[in-house]
Each structure stands twice: as structure tokens, then as C-alpha cells.
Amino acid sequence: MTYTEKHILDHILKLSKKFISVSSTLANPSGLQEVLNIAKKELEGYFAMEEFESNGIPSLLIHNTNKRTKHFKIVLNAHLDVVPGEKKQFKPFEKNGRLYGRGAYDMKAASAVMILVFKQLAKELHYPIALQLVTDEEIGGFDGAEYQLKKGLQTDFVIAGEGGSSFKIQHQARGIAWIKIKIPGIAAHSAYPWLGKNPILQMHEIVSAIKKAFPVPSDPTWKTTVTIVNVETSNVAFNKVPADCSIYADIRYVPKDSDRILDKIKALLPEGVQLEVLQHTNPAYIPTSNKFVKILKKNTEAVLGREALLTGAYASADIRHYTNLGFSGIEFGPIGANHHSDDDEWVDIKSLEDYYHILKNFLLAIN
Amino acid sequence: MFQKIVPLTKDFLSIPSISGDRKEIDKILAIVKRELQEFPFLSFESNGHPSLLYANRNLEKKEFDIILNAHLDIVHGKPEEFIPKEIDGKLYGRGAKDMKAASAVMVLLFKELAKTIPYSLALQIVTDEEPGGLDGTGYQVKQGVKGKFAICGEGTNLVIIHKAKTRMLVKLTTNGKTAHSAYPWKGENAVMNMHKAIANIFQAYPTPQEESEETIVTVTSFTTENNTLNQIPDNCTAYLDIRFVPDEQDSIIPKITSLLPENIIMEIVFKFYSHDTNPENIYLQLLQKEGEKLLGHSLKLGMAHGASDAPFFTEVGCDAIEFGPTGNNHHGEGEWVDIQSLEDYYHILKNFLLSAQDL
């Protein structure tokens, strides 16, 4: 459209930095709108743009068709929200070929690439393509990607430019089950514990059993993990045997455990203890034989000059909302590190240029 | 006077006077003030916990011969537990045994006898016994209140409790490293750190299944501040309620410390002084004699499993006992006090207070 390929990296960096400078976190709702406005300004006037809002979370769907189609061949999914960071992390800077800042890797730079690829190509493509910009992926994506899908969005294939993939094509993601284990007890004065039944004792045994059945891996492992995220009791007196205790656990399970994971947990629980599933998301799995996956793999290898790996994603991103409905999708983004950590999130600058070309070639190849 | 005890107890039982609930606590103290309006008293307050001190003479001097100690705070209860009920000679309600009925007896006995007995008698009304007593009895004692002998009216089933397991509250904290819980290998789960520590505690101090004269450790709370479901908690706190036997006064802290891994921080929230009053104490023996006279059988001495406010007195050299009526289910559901035992309690205390002038 307006700029040349030669300067594409400058554009990507400029737009990425604009995004990083906005603290678009859950705690700062005006930042969510502000970051979307930057994207909007970049694309305004060229394309049909649909605005959404759910529970105060804004999102956009930009596409290359004139009619109000709901079914796209390809959706590029980008989230512009970030996890919280220190003030200085919202001042992007370049150093030794890396762009630093909160969201550099997850996924503001990738978002900038997707926006610019879309801007450059969308009009030339002969199929319906949409760019989805959301602002709530980090808190679950229910009011962004999932909301748009509820409103009728459909696609043959979606690519999320998620942080964490570093050019690996993540075609499967673990399922999530957030569970609450409710342990009843019998309250008593703590000087007379034999008159009661301390649920904290049973909690202790259950945690031991979970730990034994699902040891915490010390390295990244494609296995089901169970993390105890909270233990609580409603007891507020320090001299009372509690009447109840609850364990909250975050379960991430690999696709092959789909049918048995909850039964496995239940089998660890003594009688009288209840299991409540607070939220459940199926694992995502796209066969490696999927034609879009194959085309993406081929184009990635052509640009990088090396093999592109197909792997699983440990965490679930917005893709799960698509795969839950039967739409195919993968996570695929540039190289970087330290997203979700306290400091030094970065994205590799050269990889942004590669990412641009891979996406571009992929979209053209589908034409 | 006895017929007034049950109605006053019911007035007390109707008020959910949980320690720290200032509105309800003030309400229940107002009842006492109305009942004892003819007597001088001092008001104390520490950390928001009010308490009262009545005496049968002016209150400039804070040392007395005998102190009656009553607490009007209770542990939490369900709304229906604040509707007192009489069934089959039992009076039901949260605090019936622990110790609103005994408080009613003490208030009414003080009212009845204070003007006639020649020695100095004080009545102490406190409102924080359940959370530890530091701001009620503990505070008054710090301000100089003491006696030769103190009776805490805890529900003891008419047994004279002259010694008790000592209460200690320990706070354990540990820090970990947070991370997204999809990547457990990136974090260090503080809950699992605490889990390890607690395993050692449970092993060294298994929870007794029946009444035990041994030291007891109860984990009464286990929490983390983490309130998201997808983050590894980086902090965890547990509270240990410890009841140790009097001869472990010096060894208990080193023992607990030795059970804790290095990443656990231990804080002694409080450790009470031991309650261990000599059975030869003349007041104790007089009370025992009066009790046996009235009941027609021997009055037992015993060790309490639970702590009371008694150690605040023994710490300053004032001998103290716990002595109160018969009941059950204090701190559990369906708490009750036996009405006949209340009448016995009233007469035993009355006879004791009257004959104490000859000591």
C-alpha cells in the first residue's frame, strides 16, 4: 500500500513501541481502549471494522470483505493486553538486536506485524480474512475472542501470534480444569481436638496424594500438571478446629488425559470430600496433517532456512475458544523470552522481520 | 436471687457478643452496668477491647483479696444459637457453658454479697478471653489489678481446675516464587513449602483421637493471599494452636523450631505463662470444702486442656483456678449448661465467699 518492503522493519518497531508504551493491563481499562485506538488509526479507512464490547472489554474485528460475512478462511488473532509490569517496563528500548518492554514478546510486537501484514495484503487476497484485535487474553479471553465467536464469528483456520512459541507451530494445547476440593470437618475448641475433626489434616493428606500422583516437574514437560493454587478455611478463630477447608487446584492436562483426569483426581479423595469443577476448557489439538499447518510449516522453513517444529503449548491462549467450537487454530509467533516474568521481557528484532515474511508468504500461498 | 440467674443468662445469650464486635460487646456490657449500677467501677480499654472492674470498695487500690473473673465474649455461632432455649433442665445457647451462665452467677452474687463481706472483693468483666485475653484480663493485670486468689468462671463441670495446658499461638509463614501455573517448573509453590513443614508437625504431634493429657498441636488456619486460579502462590501462612503441658514451658519452642524446614519463618504470636496453682492453697481448699458440703461428694481437682485467663494472674503471683458449672459443646454446636449445676454453683460460690472472711 503505502510503504516499501525495505522499510517494513522500521514500521514494525515503531508500531510495537507505541503499543508497549501503553500500560494496557486489566487494572487500567483506559489503556485497553487506548491501545486499540492506535491499531484502529493504523487501519482506519481501508477496511470494514466491527467494534465489540463485553463487560467493559473492547475488541475489534477488521476484515477485507464488503458484505457482512461471518465466515472467514483465515483469522489473525492478536491480543494487545499485557500482564502487569513495573513502570519502567512500559518504556521500550532496543539493545543488542532485541526489543525490550512489557508485552514485547507477549504479544505486542507480533500484533504490530499482524496489523502491518494485514494492511499490506488483505485487499489483494481473494478470500475472506479477518484481523481480530482483543484486549483480555491474559485474563481468559471470555469477553474478547470468545465473545466475538458467540456473536457468530467462524473461520477455517486461526493463527494467534502468542508469546511463547518462538517459531514453533503449537498445534496442541493442554486442557484446563480449575477445581475446588471441599473438605468438611467438625468444629471444636482446639484444646479438645478429639471432639472435632480437623479438615486441615485431610487437606494435608489430599495434597500429599496429589503431589505423589502428579509430581511437580522441574523442567518443561509435556505432561499433566496439578498446581495447588490456594487453600482456605472459613475459620477465623485461632482456637478452633475448623469446620471446613477447601483446596483450589489448577490442572493443565495433555489431550490424552482428557477422559480420565477428573476421575483420577476423584480417586485420590476420601469419602465425604467433594470435587467441584469451577471451569473446564478442553485441550486443543489440530492434526499435523491439517492443510493450513502444512502450508505454514513449509513457508516457515523457507524463510528461516531450518526445520519448523510442531509442538504443544503448555498454557491455553485464545485459540482454545476456537477449538472448543471445532475451528482449527495454532499459536505461532516470533522469538523472545521472559513473558509473564517480572523483568526483561524481550523479542528478537530480526525474528519480527522473518515473522512478517512467513505470514505474508503463508497468506499468499493460500490464495 | 437464684431465680434471677436464668433470665440474666438468657439476656446474655441473646447477644452475639463475639470478641471485637464492638456494637454487640457494648450491648452486653450495658446489661452488666445496669445490673450493678449501685457499685463503683473502672472501665478499661485496650486495642478496642473494653473491660470493667467492679469492687466492694473504692478502686484507687487495685489489689484485692478475691477476684471473680468473667468473660462475656464467645466464639462464632449460627443465628439460631443466639435464641436461648430451655429443654429438659438444660439451657441451650452459644456461650451457655463458656461462660455466660457462670458470668450471670458472678454478677448476681457480687450484687448480693459485695456490701456485706468485709474483705475486698472484685468482679472483673472482660470481652476478649476467646482470642487470648491479652487486652482484657491481661491488660487489667498489667495496670496493677491483682488479688490473693482469682476464680475464672469457665465451664469446668464443677471440677476445680488448678492447672492447665498452656496456650501458645505460632504463626508460620513461607515465601515462594510466583509463576503462571501452566509453567509450574518456573515457580516455587509456597503452599507446598508449608505442606512439608506441616507434615513434620503432624508426624511429631499426631492429633489425638480421644482425650489426651499430652501436648497438642492443632493447625487452625492454612491460607495464601493468592486469589487467582492460574498463579502459583508465592506466600502461605499457617497458624498452630499449641497446648503444652506445664513442664514443657522451656522446651516447647526449641522443639517446634527443630521441626521446621529452613524456608519457614516462625513467629510466636503469644505464649502464656503456665497455670499451675498449688492444691494446698487455702482458698482452693476452702472452696473444695464448701463444694463437698453442698454436693455431698468429693470435689475433684483437675488439669484443663484449654487455657483461660488464669495464667495472667499466676504470672504476677496471684493464685488462680477455673471453676464453673456443668455443660457441654462449648465451641461446637448445641452448647448447653445444666440448670441444676448452676444452682449448685451459685450456692457453692456464695458459701465460699461468705466463709472466706474467716481466713
State how far the Cα of A170 lies from the Cα of A168, in Å rounded to an integer.
Answer: 6
State how far the Cα of A166 lies from the Cα of A199, in Å rounded to an integer.
Answer: 45
> What percent of chain A has a predicted confidence (pLDDT) above 70?
98
Asked whether the beta carbons of residue B75 and residue A245 sit closer than 8 angstroms, the reply is no
State how far the Cα of A22 lies from the Cα of A80, in Å rounded to an integer.
Answer: 10
Strand order in the sheet with B85-87: B85-87, B90-92, B336-338, B327-328
DSSP annotation of B128 reads -
Output the pLDDT for position A339.
80
Asked whether the beta carbons of residue A207 and residue B195 sit closer than 8 angstroms, the reply is yes
- A55, A144 in Cβ contact below 8 A? no
Residue of chain B whose alpha carbon sits nearest to that of A196? B332
Report ipTM (2 d.p.): 0.73
Chain A interface mutation, best of B167, B201, B222, highest count of A Cβ atoms under 10 Å: B222
Residue of chain B whose alpha carbon sits nearest to that of A209? B195
State how far the Cα of A12 lies from the Cα of A334, in Å rounded to an integer.
Answer: 13
Asked whether the beta carbons of residue A188 and residue B332 sit closer than 8 angstroms, the reply is yes
Average pLDDT across chain A, whole number: 93
Output the pLDDT for position A2.
46
Cα A185 to Cα A65, A196, A235, A245, B238: the distances in Å are 61, 7, 11, 8, 17
State how far the Cα of A272 lies from the Cα of A350, in Å rounded to an integer.
Answer: 58
Output the pLDDT for position A5.
64
* In B272-345, beta strands by DSSP E: 275-276, 301-304, 319-322, 327-328, 336-338
State how far the Cα of A329 lies from the Cα of A229, in Å rounded to an integer.
Answer: 29
Residue of chain B whose alpha carbon sits nearest to that of A140? B230
Chain B interface mutation, best of A238, A241, A340, A345, highest count of B Cβ atoms under 10 Å: A238
How many angstroms separate the CA of residue B347 from the nearest CA in chain A?
A: 29
Above 90 in pLDDT, residue A61? yes
Three-state DSSP state, A96: coil
Dihedral angle of Cα B286, B292, B294, B297, to the nearest 10 degrees: 180
Asked whether the beta carbons of residue A221 and residue B241 sit closer than 8 angstroms, the reply is no
State how far the Cα of B217 lies from the Cα of B255, in Å rounded to an integer.
Answer: 12
Query: How many Cβ atoms sit within 10 Å of the Cβ of residue A279?
Result: 12
Output the pLDDT for position A4.
57
The predicted model gives A111-135 an average pLDDT of 96
Asked whether the beta carbons of residue A217 and residue B184 sit closer than 8 angstroms, the reply is yes
Output the pLDDT for position B228.
82
State how far the Cα of A119 lies from the Cα of A113, in Å rounded to an integer.
Answer: 10
- State which amino acid sits at residue A107: M
Q: Half-sphere exposure of residue B56, counting CA atoms within 13 Å on the CB side?
A: 21
Above 70 in pLDDT, residue A278? yes
Q: How far is CA A94 from the centre of its chain?
A: 25
Q: How confident is the model at residue A6 (pLDDT cuts 50, 70, 90)?
A: low
DSSP annotation of B99 reads I
- B13, B116 in Cβ contact below 8 A? no
Asked whether the beta carbons of residue A200 and residue B220 sit closer than 8 angstroms, the reply is yes
Asked whether the beta carbons of residue B211 and residue A194 sit closer than 8 angstroms, the reply is yes
CA angle A185, A190, A193 (to 5 degrees): 60
Question: Which residues of B are less than 8 Å from A177 in CB distance?
Answer: none
> What percent of chain B has a predicted confidence (pLDDT) above 70?
100
Predicted TM-score (pTM) of the model is 0.71
Output the pLDDT for position B1.
67
Question: Which residues of A are less than 8 Å from B183 in CB distance?
Answer: 220, 314-315, 340
Above 80 in pLDDT, residue A90? yes
Output the pLDDT for position A236.
85
Question: Which residues of B are less than 8 Å from A227 in CB distance?
Answer: 181, 184, 189, 232
Asked whether the beta carbons of residue B131 and residue A189 sit closer than 8 angstroms, the reply is no
Chain A interface mutation, best of B98, B189, B229, highest count of A Cβ atoms under 10 Å: B229
How many angstroms separate the CA of residue B261 from the nearest CA in chain A?
A: 17
Helices (H), B252-332: 252-259, 282-295, 310-315
Phi, psi (degrees; rounded to nearest 5) at B332: -115, -170
Asked whether the beta carbons of residue B229 and residue A229 sit closer than 8 angstroms, the reply is yes
Among the partner-chain residues A187, A228, A315, the one whose CB lies closest to the CB of B180 is A315
Among the partner-chain residues A196, A239, A314, the one whose CB lies closest to the CB of B241 is A239
Query: For every one of its 359 residues, what pLDDT tens digit does chain B have, with 9 covering 90 and above?
Result: 679 999 999 999 999 999 999 999 999 999 999 999 999 999 999 999 999 999 999 999 999 999 999 999 998 899 999 999 999 999 999 999 999 999 999 999 999 999 999 999 999 999 999 988 999 999 999 999 999 999 999 999 999 999 999 989 999 999 999 888 888 998 999 999 999 999 999 999 999 999 998 999 999 999 999 878 888 999 999 999 999 998 898 899 999 999 999 999 999 999 988 899 999 999 999 999 999 999 999 999 999 887 789 999 999 999 999 999 999 987 778 999 999 999 999 999 999 999 999 88
- State which amino acid sits at residue A87: K
Question: Which residues of B are less than 8 Å from A198 in CB distance?
Answer: 207, 218-219
Output the pLDDT for position B176.
95
Q: Half-sphere exposure of residue A347, counting CA atoms within 13 Å on the CB side?
A: 35
DSSP annotation of B180 reads B
- A77, A160 in Cβ contact below 8 A? yes
First to last CA, chain A: 18
How many angstroms separate the CA of residue A269 from the nearest CA in chain B?
A: 17
Above 70 in pLDDT, residue A32? yes
State how far the Cα of A233 lies from the Cα of A249, in Å rounded to an integer.
Answer: 15
Asked whether the beta carbons of residue A204 and residue B195 sit closer than 8 angstroms, the reply is yes
State how far the Cα of B229 lies from the Cα of B335, in Å rounded to an integer.
Answer: 38
User: Which tens digit of pLDDT belongs to each residue from A149-176?
Assistant: 999 999 999 999 987 788 999 999 899 9
Helices (H), B79-131: 101-113
Question: Which residues of B are less than 8 Å from A237 in CB distance?
Answer: 75-76, 130-131, 220
How many angstroms separate the CA of residue B200 from the nearest CA in chain A?
A: 11
Beta strands B301-304 and B160-164: pairing type?
Answer: parallel
Asked whether the beta carbons of residue A190 and residue B212 sit closer than 8 angstroms, the reply is no
Asked whether the beta carbons of residue A229 and residue B232 sit closer than 8 angstroms, the reply is yes
Output the pLDDT for position A342.
65
Cα B188 to Cα A246, A249, A316, B199: the distances in Å are 21, 15, 21, 18
Query: How many Cβ atoms sit within 10 Å of the Cβ of residue A248?
Result: 23
Residue of chain B whose alpha carbon sits nearest to that of A177? B229
Question: Which residues of A are less than 8 Å from B198 in CB distance?
Answer: 200, 204
Question: Which residues of B are less than 8 Å from A230 in CB distance?
Answer: 191, 223-224, 226-227, 229, 233
Beta strands A93-95 and A328-331: pairing type?
Answer: unpaired
Question: Which residues of A are less than 8 Å from B230 in CB distance?
Answer: 178, 229, 250
Q: How confident is the model at residue A1 (pLDDT cuts 50, 70, 90)?
A: very low
User: Which tens digit of pLDDT belongs to each residue from A179-217?
Assistant: 999 999 999 988 889 999 999 999 999 999 999 999 999
Question: Which residues of B are less than 8 Å from A315 in CB distance?
Answer: 180, 182-183
Asked whether the beta carbons of residue A201 and residue B182 sit closer than 8 angstroms, the reply is no
Residue A328: all three cell numbers together: 482449527
State how far the Cα of B312 lies from the Cα of B140, in Å rounded to an integer.
Answer: 9
Residue of chain A whose alpha carbon sits nearest to that of B215? A191
DSSP annotation of A257 reads G
Helix (H) or strand (E) holding A113: helix A109-121
